Structure 1
Amino acid sequence: MASFTLQGIPVSRGIAIGRAHLLRPAALEVQHYLVGQEQVEAEVLRLQNALAEAERELQKIWSDLPADAPSELGAFLDVHSLFLSDPMLAQAPLEIIRTRHYNAEWALVTQIDVLLAQFDEIEDDYLRERKADIEQVADRLLKLLTGSATTLPPNAGVDELNTHMIVVARDISPADMMQFQDSAFVGFVTDEGGRSSHTAIVSRSLGIPAVVGMGNASHLIQQDDWLIIDSVAGVVIVAPQQIILDEYREKQAAIQRFRKKLAKLKKTSAVTKDGTPITLLANIELPEHAAAANEVGASGVGLFRSEFLFMGRDGILPSEEEQFEAYRATVQAMKGRPVTIRTLDVGADKPLDEADVATLNPALGLRAIRYCLAEPQLFLTQLRAILRASAFGKVNILIPMLSHLFEIDQTLAMVAQAKQQLILQGIAFDADIKVGAMIEVPAAALSLPMFVKKMDFLSIGTNDLIQYTLAIDRADYAVAHLYDDVHPAILQLLAMTVAAADKAGIPVAICGGMAGDIKLTRLLLGMGFRELSMPPAQLLEIKQEVMNIDLLLFNPIIKKILRSYEPEVIAEGIRALQLL
Structure 2
Amino acid sequence: MLALSGTGIGRGIAIGRALVLDSPQHEVPHFQIDAKRIDDEILRFNQAIAAVRQELQHLQSNLPETAPPETGAFIDVHLLMLEDPLISKEPAESIRREQINAEWAFSNHAQTLAAFFDNISDPYLRTKKDDVAQVVGRVMDILTQRAERYPNLSSMEPELTDRIIVARDLSPADAVMLRHRRMAAFVTSLGGPISHTAILARSLGIPAIVGLHGVIDTIRDQDTLIVDAASGTVLVSPDERLLKQFELLQARQHEERQALAKVGEERAATLDDQEMTLLANIELPEDLDALAGSGAAGVGLYRTEFLFMNRTEPPEEEEQYQAYSQIIKAVNGPVTIRTLDLGADKQVDGGRDEPKAAMTAALGLRAIRLCLSEPSLFKPQLRAILRAAVHGDLQIMIPMLSSLSELEQSFSLIREVCAELESEGTPFKPNIPIGGMIEVPAAAIAADLFAQKLDFLSIGTNDLIQYTLAIDRVDDAVNYLYDPLHPSVLRLVRNIIQAGKAAGIPVSMCGEMAGDPLFTRLLMGLGLRQFSMEPSQLLEIRQQVRQTRLSAVPEWIE
Range into which the TM-score falls when normalised by the shorter chain:
0.7 to 0.9
SS in 1 for 2:186: strand
Tell me the percent identity.
42
**Partner deviation per Cα, 1:473-516 (whole Å, 9 max, x = no partner):** 22334433221111222112111111211111111110110001
Q: Corresponding residue for 2:236?
A: 238
Structure 1 stretch 54-63 or stretch 381-390: which is displaced more?
54-63
- Taking structure 1 as reference, are residues 239 and 49 closer, same or farther at Cα in structure 2, changes over 3 Å only? farther
CA distance, structure 1, for counterparts of residue 15 and residue 3 of structure 2: 14
Q: 1:439 to 1:348 in 2, by over 3 A?
A: farther
- Structure 2 regions of 5+ residues with no counterpart? 64-68
Change (3 A) 1:89 1:235: farther
Matches within 5 A, 1:425-504: 425-504=424-503
Q: 1:124 to 1:214 in 2, by over 3 A?
A: same
Q: SS in structure 2 opposite 1:295? A: coil
Q: SS at the partner of 1:26? A: coil
1:269-324 residue CA offsets vs partner (Å, 9 max, x unmatched): 22223332211111122234334334211122111112233334x33544433333
Structure 1 residues 81 and 365 mapped into 2: Cα distance closer, same or farther (>3 Å)? farther
Q: Show structure 1 runs of 5+ residues with no match.
A: 99-103, 561-580
SS state of the match for residue 436, structure 2? strand
> What TM-score, normalized to structure 2?
0.81
SS of the equivalent of 2:262 reads: helix
How far is 1:64 from its partner? Answer: 5.2
Aligned AA (1:543) = R
Structure 2 counterparts to residues 185-224 of structure 1, below 5 A: 185-196=183-194, 199-204=197-202, 207-224=205-222
Superposition CA RMSD, Å: 4.2
Spell out, residue by residue over 1:230-286, the C-alpha distance to the aligned partner (whole angstroms, 9 max, x if none). Answer: 211211233456776666566445434423322322232222233322111111222
Q: What letter corresponds to residue 504 of structure 2 in structure 1? A: G
Match of 1:284 in 2: 282
Of 297, 300, 303, which aligns to 2:301? Answer: 303
1:84 aligns with 2:87: yes
Q: Structure 1 residues 310, 175: closer, same or farther in 2, change over 3 A?
A: farther
Name which of structure 1's ranges 302-311 and 471-480 shifts more when overlaid on structure 2: 471-480
The 5-angstrom pairing of residues 277-356 of structure 1 reads 277-312=275-310, 314-335=311-332, 337-347=333-343, 352=348, 355-356=351-352
Matched to 1:488, the amino acid is: P
In the alignment of these two chains, the number of paired residues is 539
Deviation at 1:207, TM superposition (A): 4.5
Moved more, 246-255 or 377-386: 246-255
Q: Give TM-score scaled by structure 1 length.
A: 0.78
C-alpha distance in 1 between matches for 2:120 and 2:538: 35
User: Which stretch shifts more, 531-540 or 303-312?
Assistant: 303-312
Q: CA 1:347–1:541 in structure 2 vs 1: closer, same or farther (change >3 Å)?
A: same
Residues 290/320 of structure 1: CA separation in 2 closer, same or farther (3 Å cut): same
SS of the aligned residue for 1:49 comes to helix
- Answer whether contact 1:153 1:184 (CA < 8 A) is retained: no
Q: 1:25 to 1:63 in 2, by over 3 A?
A: closer
CA distance in 2 between partners of 1:130 and 1:282 (Å): 20
Per the TM alignment, residue 13 of structure 1 is displaced from its structure 2 partner at its CA by 2.7
2:56 aligns to what? 61
Query: Mean Cα displacement is larger for which, 133-142 or 3-12?
Result: 133-142
Matched position secondary structure for 2:442: helix
Change in Cα spacing, 1:462 to 1:112, as seen in structure 2 (3 Å) is same
Shift in alpha-carbon separation, 1:42–1:431, aligned structure 2, 3 A: closer
1:365-376 equivalence runs, <5 A: 365-376=364-375
Matches of 1:374 and 1:169 in 2, distance apart? 44
C-alpha distance 149-395 of structure 1, shift in aligned 2 (>3 A): same
Q: Say whether 1:168 aligns with 2:166.
A: yes
2:66 equivalent in structure 1: none
| Partners of 1:397 and 1:181 in 2: CA distance | 38
Q: Closer, same or farther in 2 for the Cα pair 1:174/1:268, shift >3 Å?
A: closer
* Structure-1 separation of matches of 2:309 and 2:120: 24
- What are the Cα deviations for residues 117-167 of structure 1, in whole angstroms up to 9, with x where unaligned? x98xx9999999798777666654553314244145599654xxx536543
How is 1:261-276 mapped onto 2 (pairs within 5 angstroms)? Answer: 261-276=259-274
CA shift at 1:463, angstroms? 0.9
Residues 450 and 293 of structure 1: CA distance in aligned 2, closer, same or farther (over 3 Å)? same
CA contact (8 A) 1:288 1:330 kept: no
Q: Counterpart amino acid of 2:438?
A: I
For residues 357-372 of structure 1, the aligned pairs below 5 Å read 358-360=354-356, 361-372=360-371
